[in-house]
Amino acid sequence: MTVADGRARSLFGIAFRPGVKTMKMEFQLAEGKAETGNAERFPTRYVRFGAFELDVKRQDLLKNGARLRLPGKVYQVLITLLERPGEIVTREELRTRLWPSDTHVNFDANVNTTVNKLRQILGDSNEESAYVQTIPRRGYSFVSKVEFVEQPETAGMARDEAERGEDSSLPSETAASKLFAAHSAKVWFTAGVIALVVAAMLLGAAITLFSHRAF
């Protein structure tokens, strides 16, 4: 095996590049640290606002329990705004957060596009902003009420459904008891009517027999 230009080459002419795997692993580690850093910026795993719930650990945004597609840059804008609800986040802060200093892009256009995508996902419009408000010549502010919760809304909904199920079983049992009582009363009423009919028939037969004997 020979070494030339930073590559290891075997006797069969196959070149190996050991540095590629190392770079990939380092990138994955850095990416994992970034995700962990996002989660550590919040006091709880779940952030709730309006009809939405954000799972910071899994980076999932749900609306009324349905998962929404949230691109990476859009997610970073949402995270940045949620870190400081009610405060102004400048466009420069978003630019620094979303793109490294050595990135060559049109920052103003990209910030506008990314924020507009977030607004579309949240259902905001130019006429009415329930979540992301534009502060002219300064930046943006997240204006909706934000709650930091320990458990997801879906868990609470499941618990409420279970409780409602237990409560609903009681009326069902009461209704069944009433139905059984009504059925029993009907049976007894029918039996009483039959007994009266039989008694009347026997009485009529006895009167007829007595009349024949008298004559």
At residue 183, the pLDDT reads 67
What is the average per-residue pLDDT within 18-36? 41
pLDDT (0 to 100) of residue 188: 72
What phi and psi values does residue 151 have, to the nearest 5 degrees? -120, 150
Q: What is the pLDDT of residues 1-11, one digit of tens each?
A: 544 444 444 44
Question: What is the DSSP-derived secondary structure letter of residue 101?
Answer: T
Identity of residue 8: A
**Among 23-27, 129-133, 197-201, whose mean pLDDT is lowest?**
23-27
CB atoms within 10 A of CB 85: 16
CATH of domain 41-149: 1.10.10.10
Domain boundaries, the chain: 41-149
The DSSP symbol for 67 reads E
Burial bucket for residue 76 (CB in 10 Å: 0-12, 13-18, 19+): buried
166, 181, 182, 186, 188 from 175: Cα distances, Å? 15, 10, 10, 16, 20
d(CA 78, CA 70): 10
Which helix (H) or strand (E) segment is 89 a member of?
strand 88-90
CA-to-CA distance for 122 and 140, rounded, in angstroms?
15
Of 27-36, 150-159, 179-188, the least confident: 27-36
pLDDT, residue 10, reads: 46
Whether 78 and 61 have beta carbons less than 8 Å apart is answered as yes
The more confident residue out of 6 and 96 is 96
CB 60 within 8 A of CB 153: no
Two tokens, residue 19: 């540095």
Per-residue pLDDT of 155-200, as tens digits, reads: 545 444 445 555 554 455 555 566 656 666 777 778 777 888 777 7
pTM: 0.56
